[in-house]
Amino acid sequence: MPNRDIKNLRLTSSYMREVAPLRFHRVFLSTHPRDVDVFLAVAKHDALSQKITEIIYDDAPFIEPELGGDMDKDFFDSFERAYKSSLQMIRQYKGLFIERPIDVQIAKQLRARMTAQESYQCIKEVMKQQRQGHRTERPRDVEALREGLWRFTNLRRITITPFAHGLPFKPRSVFGTSDDFRELYEAQRSRGFRKIVRELAQDTHNIVEFVVENNQLRTGITSQVISKPGDTYGYKSLLALLSSPGFSRIDLPLWFGRGGIRNWHPNGASCLRAALGKAVGLQHVSLSTDLTPPEDLYLIPDTPEGGREHFTPLLSIFPVKQWPRLRHFGLSRFIVIQQDLLALLSALPSTIRSVELSYLFFLPHGGRYGDLLYDIKQELDWVHQPPGVRPELTLYLEMDPLKPGMYVDVSKDVNQYLYGSGVNPFSDEGDVGELPRYRVYRDDGIGIERDAFQPENDVPYMQPELLQGMGIYIPGKLGAL
């Protein structure tokens, strides 16, 4: 039963209030004063504070322009354009789908929406409150975090996310404030990360899991975190966190920006390895980036050594021999060579139960997904392990054309190939050495088209005419996918 229904049940009688406790394990924190007040109220509650095991920190504060005179008008004009753009996006949520209950609900909300002027005044008030919270010597959200670290005695995880509020009319969670057009404002990248790791480095805590979300998007904390040995970007504090007794999980998305892999500092691999090596009890590690292949990667001379300047050996980053209890390994949007990746996979401990290898870029003459799967099946002992022990492989691919937050999930097909009677999803002919495929296509009928922000839109990755025949899309109405 969801918490929403439990709340109604608890209102029926004092008896039900006692026997039907809320499932209350996470608490939300942001720079917004109301979020800080609620967070502190939970922290100071004798019963509720003992239930909290996770803090969700919203790392997407509003970027406040300098207002006044023409600047105020210019900002409103910019806001109004974003407002209209969001309305257009909301109207396109339904797309080609047969009408569903959620579509009816969103249409009702859209009719009752605030005007652009009302929304603008709301945003200005939120910015004002946010500014007041930062005027103190220590921002209120930082003070609240310190209070929570002390009072939440069962706290184990901190999750940092710039996506706590999801899309307009489609919140990702039921906690925290909700502003219809919050996502229109660019986050102050990595501000929350730096604040939190520095606070953890200074205080006693029980945090053993640290997760930075990117929700399948090309975003994350600045890659300078792992290339600047000091604490300007939080590296020194990150070392202290990873050295904490019992630390077991790190999810780290790195943002390189426009320079891409060229922004990878010469010391980046060694700094990252030194940091990860501090967590000797690690059970879950996931590294992702915002990288895309350099424009000249496939224009270099056609030789086996071409493009090696963009490549970093994986074992120079991941000290897997120091993680005898590792259960999950994840790597996304990284430039790899097949044999180097295979060497890392073969070095993983016997405790490994899941592996993610999503959105990888293979160097020219450096392999491809189809060949990698073939070698995993032939060369690793995974296939000989029983269910529940052998690693499950997660593999996501980019949409073609690219669509932020959308991807093709071929994990089921990959595992059926590795451990069952399925065919290699990247091959036309099954197990062959020279596979012609770099990706899968709609005509293949392989994989699931997923939407990270709208999971109700997940459909089989196939031609829209077939989805019409399955009663998923409106018959006779097709558009560009």
Confidence of residue 73 (pLDDT cuts 50, 70, 90): confident
Whether residue 478 lies inside any domain: the answer is no
For 407-443, write each residue's pLDDT tens digit. Answer: 999 999 999 999 999 999 998 654 444 444 668 888 8
Does 93 map to a domain?
no
Contact between 336 and 362 (Cβ < 8 Å): yes
pLDDT digits (tens, 9 = 90+) for 271-309: 899 999 999 999 999 999 988 877 666 665 555 555 677
Domain that holds residue 149: 3-66+126-436
Find the mean pLDDT for residues 208-222: 89
317 inside domain: yes
| Poorest-pLDDT segment among 43-52, 112-121, 248-257, 258-267 | 258-267
357: nearest Cα among 378, 373, 379, 346: 373
Enter the pTM of the model: 0.86
Residue 406 lies in a domain: yes
Residue 186 has a pLDDT of 34
Which H/E stretch holds residue 454?
none
E strand or H helix that includes residue 336: strand 335-336
Residue 267 is assigned to a structural domain of this protein: yes
Asked if residue 447 belongs to a domain, the reply is: no
pLDDT at 166: 64
Q: How far apart are CA 282 and CA 243, in angstroms?
A: 10
CATH number at residue 313: 3.80.10.10
**341 three-class SS:** helix
Q: What is the pLDDT of residue 189?
A: 53
Q: pLDDT above 70 covers what percent of the chain? A: 81
In a domain, 98, yes or no: no
Checking if the pLDDT of 42 tops 70, the result is: yes
Q: Which of 83-92, 103-112, 261-270, 416-425 has the lowest mean pLDDT?
A: 261-270
Percent of the chain with pLDDT over 90: 44
> Is residue 186 in a domain?
yes
Measured CA to CA, the distance from residue 245 to residue 372 in angstroms comes to: 36
Are 329 and 352 spatial neighbours (Cβ–Cβ below 8 Å)? yes
Q: Strand, helix or coil at 431?
A: coil
> Sorting pLDDT into bands at 50, 70 and 90, what band is 68?
low
- Tally of domains in the chain: 1
Tell me the sheet residues that pair with 449: 408, 459
CA distance 195 to 416: 44
* Three-class SS state of 249: strand
Q: Span 67-93, mean pLDDT? A: 77
Per-chain mean pLDDT for the chain: 84
